[in-house]
Amino acid sequence: MNKRKPLDERRAEIVEAGLSVAMREGVESVTVRRVAQEAGISLGTVHYCFDDKDAMLRAMGRAIALRASEPVLSALDAGPDRRALAEATVDALLVGLKEHQHMRLLTFEFAVSGARTPVLREVAQAHLRQSIAMTREYLQRLAGVARVTFRTEIGALARMTALRIDGIELAWMVDQDDAAAREGFAVLARDVFGDMAPS
């Protein structure tokens, strides 16, 4: 029966329902009541799984960040050759953007809503931290695969890289220009890989 589902599984269902509402109706339409209705569960079940709406929104942000990072992390399978790694990363960024464009659009909506609405600011800040943390994880794993270090401090490099990716993706959302997005990712990759030094 549904009531006996493990807590993690139930939370995942609630997050999926929240994402469905957000993609269809916008982030500001996500309420505990609306998500419970979407998931076909009681309000009490949502409150049991999440302390409040902000906790649910933070979980949605984490889910988006994880999905966005999957294709890029898989690019590390290209092996230690830097050129192959750079090309695989550029391809993965573009593929991930196109496959998850509705999710990526939500990340920008989180950011705008957080900048505009004090109630959502903490959620937007948490999502930004998650995005930078995921980028940092990729860079750390990249350094290990390529057997290099970075000249720039890893935290600063992760933030700069994450913000540049956001800019390229936002432009693509507007103009849908695959070639321009690929070139933007390629320039970013050249900068990041150019920051490498043998370990």
Across the range 133-152, mean pLDDT stands at 95
Q: Per 3-state DSSP, what percentage of the chain is helix, strand, and coil (rounded to 5)?
A: 85, 5, 15
pLDDT reported for residue 1: 41
Going by pLDDT thresholds of 50, 70 and 90, the confidence category of residue 100 is confident
Determine whether 101 is exposed, middle or buried from the number of CB atoms within 10 Å of its CB (0-12, 13-18, 19+): middle
pLDDT reported for residue 66: 80
* Long-range Cβ contacts of 112-119 (<8 Å, 24+ apart): 113/27, 113/28, 117/28, 119/54
Average pLDDT over the chain, rounded to an integer: 91
> Is 94 in contact with 181 (CB distance < 8 Å)?
yes
pLDDT reported for residue 4: 67
pLDDT reported for residue 110: 83
Tens digits of per-residue pLDDT, 161-178? Answer: 999 999 999 999 999 999
Cα 97–chain centre separation: 10
Going by pLDDT thresholds of 50, 70 and 90, the confidence category of residue 63 is confident
Q: CA 169, CA 183: separation in Å to the nearest integer?
A: 12
Across the range 78-92, mean pLDDT stands at 94
Strands (E), the chain: 148-150, 196-198
pLDDT reported for residue 18: 93
pLDDT reported for residue 37: 94
pLDDT at 2 over 70: no
pLDDT at 7 over 60: yes
Q: CA 56, CA 43: separation in Å to the nearest integer?
A: 13
Across the range 14-21, mean pLDDT stands at 93
pLDDT reported for residue 3: 54
- Which of 193, 199, 192 lies closest to 165 in space, CA to CA? 192
Cα 14–chain centre separation: 18
Structure tokens at 42: 């009681």
Task: Please tell me the pTM assigned to this model.
Answer: 0.83
Cα 26–chain centre separation: 17
- Neighbouring CB atoms inside 10 A of 93's CB total 24
pLDDT reported for residue 20: 92
Across the range 174-190, mean pLDDT stands at 97
